[in-house]
Structure 1
Amino acid sequence: MLLASQTMKSLKSLIMDMQFDLLKYIMILMVKSSDGATTLARAVSVCSVFMKVAEDADILKAVSFDNVSVTYRYELFQQTNGLLYRCAQVGNEAARYLLAKIVLVSSSQLLPRITKSEPKQILWGRRHAMYEVRHIKIPRDDAMAAAFMPHFLPDQACSTRGLGQTGLLHWELVRKFLYQCTTLDFTEMHPHLNRYIDYFTERQSQCNHILHCVINKMCHHAYRVRASEQVSMEHVRLVRERFREKIQYFRDRRQSRQRNQVGRIPEANEEQGFASVDFTEREFYLQLNSSAVYNLYACMGDFESDRWEVGLQFEECRINAIACFDHVFP
């Protein structure tokens, strides 16, 4: 214990004696890893020197949020003095993308019509089976969200930004989300996008109705993309598995025949071609091999073509949704 304590003290003194530029360079390398945000949070909690250096804009801009999920316990991110918000203020694009999700969920939390048990989503006049998933649970206490959301309004966002920081307006963050979201992220945030629209636009108005239509259509195609990817991957897996089974069957059959032959099987050379004792089986094996490979890649090509077509429709819906969003929130 004494040795460990002395080691910790020597490490702290070594860190405190480092030049600022060297320590800053080390921390930038540290926060660029996939667990950069978690590593930085731990570092500043154990060392005051790290806490001071972590306020540097270059470090905050370099923090990686690859392994950070805001789906569960998102209320931990509803803090303007938190790492996510500070990184977003200095222009960290990954932080802004995650912060857009927090804004969407917070608008859901503040909408008075939110209930504990949500109705199933309706799309184009019918229920969609894939919409029947468990969404993020919204707590009843909305005090934290009520204090958090005003920071993304025009007057508050401009008044709270410091030197080298940019104002974080809610529609700019949501627009960024629409530009960059994957189909998985979009389907997860779809209910909150609809509530965000209801929160910031007048319900039953024309712009409210149009935004709901384009967002729902985009979600419809997002589910189609996800479904086509799942079907394609499963089909390719089954085809490959069947292909390997057939190849293994004929390999085992050939080995069995070789073991049952009396004496040594004559070898083939360039002039003789295949050995006569094995000609029929080898010929059939090669035909099976080429045919199976052709069928495998033909199926893969068909499914890939369908997936590209569905993906193109999703991207067209994304363009339309962003255009409508820019018209309502210029």
Structure 2
Amino acid sequence: MKNLITDMHFDLLKYIMILMVKSSEGATSLARAVSVCSVFMKAAEDTDILKAVSFDNVSVTYRYELFQKTNGLLFRCAQVGNEAARYLLSKIVLVSSSQLLPRIMKSEPKQTLRGHRCAMYEERHIKIPRDDAMVAAFMPHFLPDQACSTRGPGQTRLLHWELVRKFLCQCTTLDFTEMHPHLNHYIDYFTEQGSRCNLILHYIINKMCHHAYRVRASQEVSLEQVRLVRERFREKIQYFRDRRQSRQRNQVGVIPEADVEQGFALADFTERQFYLQLNSSAVYNLYACMGDFESDCWEVGSKFEECRINAIACFDHVFP
């Protein structure tokens, strides 16, 4: 099998690998292939393959330090223009800011040059713990000077504010709420705390997070759940109507229509009380009409998108 792979024409091997890396498990599959065969390792340096790698099922929430490597697959894919890799890398930059911020807080007042961190740690004589050494070596590569010096042929520089801006443009409400604390730490790390820009960015980001939680809450009440609630309500109403008609047939005389409509006069107290409680329930009042539910979801979503636009505009004003 190994001989077949070794003797395979590169164009055919490249085609097969592109199909492999485009799958939902593309990044994982490529990492495994590279680890077992040097031919795959050499082919994995091809720009077309790196651009095609899918990171759909890759999570950076746990063990994010595995991605803090400039020679890693994620960084190399991002350098050649893989948009999915850049989005994922933006999360790594945010989490790395959270990891480094406490060290800055304990040092002397930081120098801020509109997002430029020309002097990181060596010049400040801050003792970096062993677990912070990797991120301390990783973050400078996203500064203007370092980003230019580390890129190779066919690679574009990766600047921290461009990556974070990409995150703001493309993030889902779930991603945003997860990264919200790290966004605040990023703002404190790259802007002067207490400054006007710092305070405005915090305000807009926090407001955006508020609406993101509202969107998530509305999404949890799915249309199917609302439909089931309405069906149950209608079943209960039909039950009382059938019971009323049944009792009417067994009564002598005719019951005034007004009495029937005002409370089902022939129903006992427990049944009437249940109906009143059901009729005044919050779920029914809020979602009795599917149109109202959809309108509410649209309004909440539009508020989140409005905050997104404002956050990006403010971000562009603060960072180059």
CA separation in 1, counterparts of 2:227 and 2:73?
42
CA separation in 1, counterparts of 2:23 and 2:187?
35
Determine the structure 2 residue equivalent to 1:82. 72
- Give the deviation of 1:227 after TM superposition: 1.1
1:172 counterpart letter in structure 2: E
Determine the structure 2 residue equivalent to 1:183. 173
TM-score between the two structures when normalised by the length of structure 2: 0.74
1:168-217 deviations in Å (ceiling 9; x for gaps):
00000000000000000000000000000000001111100110011011
CA separation in 1, counterparts of 2:137 and 2:227?
50
Determine the structure 1 residue equivalent to 2:250. none
CA separation in 2, counterparts of 1:42 and 1:203?
44
- Give the deviation of 1:302 after TM superposition: 1.5
Distance of aligned partners of 1:208 and 1:243 in 2 relative to their CA distance in 1, 3 Å threshold: same
Determine the structure 2 residue equivalent to 1:66. 56
Determine the structure 1 residue equivalent to 2:20. 30
Q: 1:151 aligns with which of 136, 141, 152?
A: 141
Note the residue ranges of structure 1 that are not aligned, 5 or more in a row. Answer: 1-10, 116-138, 250-294
- Give the deviation of 1:147 after TM superposition: 0.8
Determine the structure 1 residue equivalent to 2:313. 323
Are positions 1:302 and 2:264 aligned together? no
CA separation in 2, counterparts of 1:75 and 1:42?
19
CA separation in 2, counterparts of 1:206 and 1:196?
16
8 Å CA contact retained: 1:62, 1:92: yes
Determine the structure 2 residue equivalent to 1:167. 157
The number of equivalent residue pairs is 252
- Give the deviation of 1:114 after TM superposition: 9.7
- Give secondary structure in 2 for the equivalent of 1:111: helix
Distance of aligned partners of 1:81 and 1:299 in 2 relative to their CA distance in 1, 3 Å threshold: same
8 Å CA contact retained: 1:236, 1:299: no
Determine the structure 2 residue equivalent to 1:6. none
8 Å CA contact retained: 2:230, 2:288: no
- Give the deviation of 1:243 after TM superposition: 7.7
Determine the structure 1 residue equivalent to 2:226. 236
1:243-299 deviations in Å (ceiling 9; x for gaps):
8978xx9xxxxxxxxxxxxxxxxxxxxxxxxxxxxxxxxxxxxxxxxxxxxx9x963
Determine the structure 1 residue equivalent to 2:216. 226
Equivalence map 1:240-279=2 (5 Å) = 242=232
Aligned identity (percent) is 88
Distance of aligned partners of 1:306 and 1:145 in 2 relative to their CA distance in 1, 3 Å threshold: same
Equivalence map 1:83-232=2 (5 Å) = 83-112=73-102, 141-232=131-222
Determine the structure 2 residue equivalent to 1:134. none
TM-score between the two structures when normalised by the length of structure 1: 0.72
Note the residue ranges of structure 2 that are not aligned, 5 or more in a row. Answer: 106-128, 240-284
Moved more, 65-74 or 299-308: 299-308
CA separation in 1, counterparts of 2:230 and 2:46?
52
CA separation in 2, counterparts of 1:112 and 1:178?
24
1:18 counterpart letter in structure 2: M
